[in-house]
Amino acid sequence: MRVPLGPEFHDECERFAFRFCCEDCAYFLRDERCAHDWPNAEHRRAAYAAEVARREIVFCKEFELR
């Protein structure tokens, strides 16, 4: 699911401890793959840190918080 990303996103992530990336998911394996074999490049924390001008948040429908 893709949701528009507002300028306040990064501040709110820190303030509310928002967890939505693969690294926080129960299906994220130690070898950095998804247990369900979904591609995960767009869902990783590094993608949000590196893409300052990113315009959307990408949520995985299989995400399960650890």
Whether the predicted pLDDT of 38 surpasses 90: yes
Question: Where in the sequence is the domain holding 35, given as residue range(s)?
Answer: 2-58
pLDDT value at position 49? 78
Q: Do 13 and 50 touch, CB atoms closer than 8 A?
A: no
12 located within any domain: yes
Can you read off the two tokens belonging to residue 33? 């793959």
64 located within any domain: no
Give the number of domains in the chain.
1
21 located within any domain: yes
pTM of the complete model: 0.82
Q: Do 40 and 33 touch, CB atoms closer than 8 A?
A: yes
29/65 Cα distance (integer angstroms): 13
24 located within any domain: yes
Q: Do 49 and 14 touch, CB atoms closer than 8 A?
A: no
Percentage, residues of the chain above pLDDT 70: 94
Whether the predicted pLDDT of 47 surpasses 80: yes
7 located within any domain: yes
